[in-house]
């Protein structure tokens, strides 16, 4: 769920705007056809004044009926698209769908808001809602990671567009977790190959972690797995380099102990080859 500090300022601004919008409801209804009966064949469409829809939406919120509240806010934009409140209702709809765990609907509503009101002072919140809705859909590393990649892009977008906001600070923390998750997926696939004797396949995955995700929690294991895979292939120079780099950077790690014992058990020791891709990959980030 969204931290309260991200929700309250937006809601307060929306409520304040609502009071101004509702004051002119009667005039707006008269201008844009408010109160006129629809075709009787459209039984589901009942046009209502903005204040009636608005009050019903907030009643739903107070009762924790988030999806129903979102649908009420959708009706504001649907029935009174030219009203002052329509823009705010669109953002409230996105927020309510998020609270209802209807992330696809929340993303759609946020995207609509961004497309229609790119210059609004509330647009940062729309970008943040979209990013968080994608982030909440990140699944375990054993499943498809399409949402993970999309969440990373959306979170980075928040940071780049609105760097001095609380949304950016929270997105930055979630970016680190998302990147770690992506690295974890690479590790899971690498282990799958490793236990099946496909050492080249495993090395390719562990290499991605070493070259692209050095600052994640997966890096120590990746180096140990490279030690295993290269040793199994008889490429001892790379096996010893992986273990040496692991020991230099994570000397107290249980992964280094495992790598060291593997080599020591075969009369070898960690020894770094500065020409190895492993050594070069780490020299770039030190």
- Domain 4-130 and domain 185-283, same fold? Reply is yes
Distance CA(233)–CA(134), nearest Å, equals: 40
Helical spans, DSSP H, in 100-218: 103-116, 123-135, 146-161, 166-195, 199-212
The CATH H-level superfamily of 185-283 is Tetratricopeptide repeat domain (1.25.40.10)
Contact 22, 51 (CB under 8 A): yes
Distance CA(91)–CA(12), nearest Å, equals: 13
Contact 246, 281 (CB under 8 A): no
User: What tens digit of pLDDT does each residue of 138-169 get?
Assistant: 876 656 677 888 999 999 999 999 999 999 99
What's the CATH number for 4-130? 1.25.40.10
Q: How confident is the model at residue 80 (pLDDT cuts 50, 70, 90)?
A: confident
- The pLDDT, as a whole number, for residue 41 is 38
User: What tens digit of pLDDT does each residue of 249-284 get?
Assistant: 999 999 999 999 999 999 999 999 999 999 999 876
Q: How confident is the model at residue 58 (pLDDT cuts 50, 70, 90)?
A: confident
Distance CA(123)–CA(113), nearest Å, equals: 7
- The pLDDT, as a whole number, for residue 284 is 64
Which residue ranges make up each domain of the chain? 4-130, 185-283
Q: How confident is the model at residue 195 (pLDDT cuts 50, 70, 90)?
A: very high
DSSP letter at 198 equals: -
**The dihedral sign for the CA sequence 14, 16, 21, 25:** positive
Q: Please tell me the pTM assigned to this model.
A: 0.72
DSSP letter at 274 equals: T
Element housing 227 (H / E): helix 219-233
Q: Is the pLDDT of residue 38 over 50?
A: no
Report the chain's mean pLDDT, rounded to a whole number: 83
């Amino acid at each position: 769920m969204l931290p309260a500090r991200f929700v309250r300022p937006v809601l307060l601004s929306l409520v304040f705007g609502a009071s101004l919008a509702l004051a002119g409801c009667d005039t707006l209804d008269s201008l844009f056809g408010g109160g006129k009966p629809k075709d009787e064949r459209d039984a589901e469409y009942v046009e209502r004044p903005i204040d009636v829809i608005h009050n019903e939406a907030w009643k739903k919120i107070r009762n924790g009926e988030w999806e129903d509240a979102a649908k009420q806010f959708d009706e504001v934009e649907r029935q009174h698209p030219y009203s002052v409140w329509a823009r705010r209702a669109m953002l409230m709809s996105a927020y309510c769908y998020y609270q209802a765990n209807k992330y696809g609907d929340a993303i759609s509503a946020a995207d609509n808001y961004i497309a229609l009101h790119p210059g609004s002072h509330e647009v940062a919140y729309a970008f943040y809602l979209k990013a968080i809705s994608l982030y909440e859909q990140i699944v375990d590393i054993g499943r498809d990671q399409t949402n993970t990649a999309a969440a990373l892009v959306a979170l980075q977008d928040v940071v780049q567009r609105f760097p001095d906001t609380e949304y950016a600070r929270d997105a930055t923390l979630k970016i680190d977790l998302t990147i770690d998750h992506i690295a974890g997926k690479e590790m899971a696939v690498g282990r799958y190959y490793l236990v099946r004797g496909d050492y080249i396949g495993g090395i390719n995955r562990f290499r991605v972690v070493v070259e692209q995700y050095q600052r994640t929690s997966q890096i120590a294991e990746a180096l140990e797995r490279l030690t295993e895979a290269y040793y199994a292939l008889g490429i001892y120079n790379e096996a010893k380099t992986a273990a040496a780099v692991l020991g230099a950077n994570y000397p107290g790690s249980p992964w280094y102990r495992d790598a060291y014992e593997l080599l020591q058990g075969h009369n070898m020791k960690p020894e770094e080859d500065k020409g190895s891709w492993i050594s070069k990959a780490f020299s770039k980030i030190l």
